Amino acid sequence: MCFKIRLGGANEFVSAIDPDWPRASPPGKVDFVKGWDNQDAKKWKNLGDAEIAAAQVWDIEGFHTVVEPILVCCGPKKDNA
């Protein structure tokens, strides 16, 4: 099982987190993609890492998120080790 981070109340999912992006104050940037089946949504292989990433989203953007379990973890391109 893998996990995705969904923007609360939406069908948008985290596709990238850059905590050091310098063009914001304080630094950091989170990108989202629309759709439950969007292949560009980032996946985490364990709940602990997904929860840490969700906390980063809160720290950077102040957005409420939901860690969503997904049964199929496809492709190493977007997965964290």
Which pLDDT tens digit goes with each residue over 29-56? 999 999 999 999 999 999 999 999 999 9
52's CB contacts (< 8 A; 6+ apart) are none
CA distance 59 to 55: 6
Instruction: For residue 23, name the pLDDT band (cuts at 50, 70, 90).
Output: confident
Residue 79 lies in a domain: no
Looking at every residue in the chain, the average pLDDT score rounds to 89
- 42 secondary structure, DSSP code: -
Report how far residue 6's alpha carbon sits from residue 31's, in angstroms, rounded to the nearest whole number.
Answer: 11
User: What domain range is 27 assigned to?
Assistant: 2-70
Domain assignment present for residue 78? The answer is: no
Encoding tokens for residue 12? 């948008």
Q: What's the number of domains the chain is made of?
A: 1
pTM of the entire structure?
0.83
Whether residue 25 lies inside any domain: the answer is yes
